[in-house]
A and B are shown apart, each in its own frame.
Chain A
């Protein structure tokens, strides 16, 4: 074996070790950047376009909010527990963002369009924060937007309850980045407002 061959063998081994380490470091880095977010990664591409009526009666499109981070929540005004809890959390999130909150839009989309008309939303949504926007539409429009966003809802007649009917619905909050892409999703067991605010600062 001559020196040249040994030299090439050594270089090959070193290059292979370097590549190996590169892969390991890259994987570790990816893991870390994943773990850096508090919300669950929700890598579903562009948030689908919609056209709905806001609580002031204006037609609003998802693309109108480009340039802002959007927190999107599906609920209904007759919801006594999860919805006001979540809206209160989102209010704390925007409050704790201070000046950055100007670049964040909270959208509340009703999944009970039969009862939640524009006036109902107007007295409900701004109660939590003047900056929040409530959205409603025809039952067909709501059906489509829920479907496009993988949100589920159903009417529940609670036996013997005086509440009329309640709604079962997807209770996670979606975070869309300023480019209009889904980034994260917050299930009900990940509702720490300060950590949500931290995620938002990281994507602004």
Chain B
């Protein structure tokens, strides 16, 4: 009897784990651009990978180092004019990935408390529809530095 109950518990745990794993988000290559003194705005970049078998959506972003954080997209038209738009959310397809990179999508950190120096670490919180909150430790890079 005990064995049966234990087996049931183990099996149900396995089942819970399995269902939880359907949308799995992995963040790699997270970095933030360092800021000149007096500049209160910067951008964070990363690669968001969904290893699960269900689509997920990045719904909101926040950070302790800035008053607000938003998802933005830079686009350059055929005349060379660069513009930015704010995105409400970003879809991360099942078994797919979305790259936030310079000149494209980025997390815009607005009203920084203080300027960011190369080598600093900052924490960014991302909230996904299915995966919930995901915390990212992003390294601050200096001028002209590229992520490894």
Contacts and interface: CB of A to CB of B under 8 A. Distances in A.
B143 A88 contact: yes
B35 to A, nearest CB: 8
B39 A161 contact: no
How big is chain A's contact interface, by range? Answer: 35 or more
A120 B38 contact: yes
Interface stretch (B4-12, B16-24, B103-111, B130-138): B103-111
A169 B82 CA distance: 5
B82 A168 contact: yes
Given A81-B103, A127-B36, A163-B41, A170 B81 contact: yes
Contacts, number: 100
Given A82-B74, A82-B103, A124-B36, A172 B80 contact: yes
A188 B82 contact: yes
Which of B80, B102, B111 has the most chain A CB atoms inside 10 A of its CB? B80
A163 B102 CA distance: 18
Main secondary structure of the interface of A (DSSP, over half): mixed
Contacts of A140: none
Q: Which 5 A-B pairs have the closest CB atoms?
A: A127-B36, A171-B82, A168-B83, A88-B144, A162-B68
Interface of A: 77-78, 80-82, 84-85, 87-89, 91-92, 95, 120, 123-124, 127-129, 152, 156, 158-163, 166, 168-172, 185, 187-189
Interface of B: 33, 36-39, 41-43, 67-68, 70, 72, 74, 76, 79-86, 102-103, 106, 108-111, 143-145
